[in-house]
Homo-oligomer: A and B are copies of this chain.
Amino acid sequence: MALAKEPTPVSAKNGADQEAEYRAQTRVWLRLLACTTLIEGELRRRFREEFDFTMPRFDVLAQLDREPSGLVLGELPKRLMVSAGNLTPIVDRLVEDGYITRTPSNLDRRVQIVCMTVEGRKAFRRMAKSHGAWLAELLADFPADRFDGLIGELDELKGAVKDALQKP
């Protein structure tokens, strides 16, 4: 098996190694998906039962909570990693329900500013508190001294995936 001088990592691997790596990658993905699905499903269920609210709505409020003077509407799809069209009806309903306001900008009439209302802020804080407690409950059995390590791994994974998406 003559090895190239400047082998790309993948092509340098023999069949068995690459097979093993494929399996490991698939396993990582399936575990990741399983953990997320499990936690997300439970959080969604509790949001619904306790507050008659949804996670996407909560996510919007969470973004606005950090912006006392509001946000340009177009920032939301970027930060939440969802499509713009998706957000329209969600924002519509949050406005209807009095959690946020949507006001057209005077400088550029295409742009709208969304901003949390006082009631919205109050409701958000109440829900955020429960959200934190639910998460603590769900993750209670995971050893606390390994959180930082896991966070580091996930950060690196996220960076690796983002890099891979950048390339083409």
**CB proximity to B under 8 Å, residues A124-168:** 132, 135-142, 144, 146-151, 153-165
Interface size class of A (residues with CB under 8 A): 35 or more
Dominant secondary structure at the A interface: helix
| Binding stretch for chain B, among A22-30, A89-97, A109-117 | A22-30
A85 to chain B, nearest CB (A): 15
Task: Determine whether A37 belongs to the interface, using a CB cutoff of 8 Å to chain B.
Answer: yes
Q: Which residues of B contact A24 (CB under 8 A)?
A: 144, 147-148, 151
A105 to chain B, nearest CB (A): 29
A138 to chain B, nearest CB (A): 5
Contact bitstring A46-61, B, C-beta under 8 A = 1, else 0: 0000000000000000
Q: How distant is the Cα of A10 from the Cα of B161 in the complex, in angstroms?
A: 35
**Chain A interface residues (CB < 8 Å from chain B):** 9-10, 21-22, 24-29, 31-42, 81, 132, 135-142, 144, 146-151, 153-165
